[in-house]
Amino acid sequence: EQIQRLREVECDYAQGYYFAKPMAVEEFEELWRSQESRSAIPSSKAPRKEDEMPGLLVVEEDAGYREKLWEAFAGEYQVLEASDTENALSCVRSGGAAGVSAVILSMTLPEDGAAAVMNALRQEPAYWELPVLAAIPDGESPYSLPLAMEADDYYCKDHPIAVLQRRLRGLIRAAASQKRENNLQEQANRDQLTGLLNRRGLQS
C-alpha cells in the first residue's frame, strides 16, 4: 500500500527494505547491473487479455513515431491511433475513446490540431478528467508551447521510451487517485439514504 501511494503522488525514486535488504557496495553494484537489462515493464506482471487492458489514445502525425509508441505500449494498453486531427476528433465525438485511460497528444499537429483535440476533450463530459500527456518536438521548450503547459504533463519526443512509460503510468495513477478522492468527497457531502446534500454539502 505504501508503494502504491508513493506512485500515486508521482514519487519516481525510493529506497527501503521493500526493494532489498541493506547490503555492501559490491552487492549493490551487482544488483544494479542485473537490473539494467530488465524491461521497463516489470516482467512479473502477468499478461492481460486485450479486453482487460485500459485504453490509450495516441494522436500523432508521424507514422514512425506512432509505431514506436505502439510497440512500447501494446502489451499494456489497447492502443488507439489517430494520425491527424480529423481522425482524433471523430474518435472523441463518436465515443470511440470510451475506456481510454489517457491521451498522448502531439503538439505538432498541423493547423492548430492539438488545440482542437484538447478543446474537444475538455468539452466532452465523459473526457473532462482524462489525463493528457503532451508530446513536444525534440529540443523545444514547453514554455514556448502554451498548450503543452495546459496539458496534465509533457515530455520531449527524443526522451527514452522508458521515461515516457514512467510518466504515463504516474499520470494515470494520479488521475485514478484524484477520482477516488472526488468520489469520497461526494459521498461525504450527501445523505446515504436520500442522496440529497447533507449539512456538510450545503455548507461547502
pLDDT tens for 153-170 read 888 888 888 888 888 888
154, 114 in Cβ contact below 8 A? no
pLDDT at 41: 36
pLDDT at 115: 92
In Å, the largest CA–CA distance within the chain is 63
pLDDT tens for 6-33 read 877 777 777 788 878 889 999 988 887 7
23: region left, alpha or beta (phi > 0 left; psi from -120 to 50 alpha): beta
Please state, in angstroms and rounded to a whole number, the distance separating the CA atoms of residues 44 and 201.
44
Distances (CA, A) of 189 to 176, 180, 184, 195: 20, 14, 9, 9
pLDDT tens for 83-139 read 999 999 998 888 777 788 899 999 989 988 999 999 998 888 878 888 999 998 877
pLDDT at 67: 92
State if pTM tops 0.75: no
